[in-house]
């Protein structure tokens, strides 16, 4: 059954058995997992990072960006999660999927290149940057 709503559940570890209509969020592992909103039963894993999916939590509802395109699944579902609501989007053509994958790969490459440069060197002030602790990183996630 196609869903119109998903409920977030914050967990440390993703459960072995997933419940339809639940979005499991592990802040420690910067990952969300849910069963595809199309009802096909496939597991959807979304890594959270500035170059992949970003999650916004307002204290009650969760939103994810960009959209979720399950192009490898037989259902080929495409949707957004906005304020816990599933907003259905049009399916993409093969050309759109390939262009999206190229863009995603370029974003990842750029993100990791930049992170590597910052971690291994000095910042613009000439100081070695301090690595943020896990609590500070989680707080930053909720601020954005």
Q: What is the pLDDT of residues 4-46, one digit of tens each?
A: 999 999 999 999 999 999 999 999 999 999 999 999 999 999 9
List the chain residues with pLDDT less than 70. 117-135, 138-144
- Sheet of 43-47, strands arranged across: 7-10, 22-26, 31-35, 43-47
CA separation for the pair 22, 28 (Å, rounded): 18
> Where in 70-142 does DSSP place strands (E)?
78-82, 85-88
């Amino acid at each position: 059954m196609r869903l119109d709503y998903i409920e977030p559940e914050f967990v440390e570890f993703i459960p072995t058995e997933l419940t339809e209509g639940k979005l499991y969020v592990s802040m420690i592992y910067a990952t969300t997992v849910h069963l595809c909103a199309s009802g096909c039963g496939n597991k959807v894993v979304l890594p959270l990072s500035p170059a992949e999916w970003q999650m916004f939590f307002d204290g009650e509802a969760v939103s994810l960006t960009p959209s979720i395109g399950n192009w490898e699944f037989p259902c080929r579902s495409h949707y957004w999660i906005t304020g816990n609501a599933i907003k259905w989007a049009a399916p993409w053509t093969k050309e759109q999927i390939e262009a999206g994958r190229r863009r995603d790969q370029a974003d990842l490459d750029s993100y990791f290149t930049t992170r590597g440069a910052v971690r291994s060197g000095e910042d613009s002030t000439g100081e070695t940057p301090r690595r943020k602790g896990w609590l500070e990183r989680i707080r930053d996630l909720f601020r954005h």
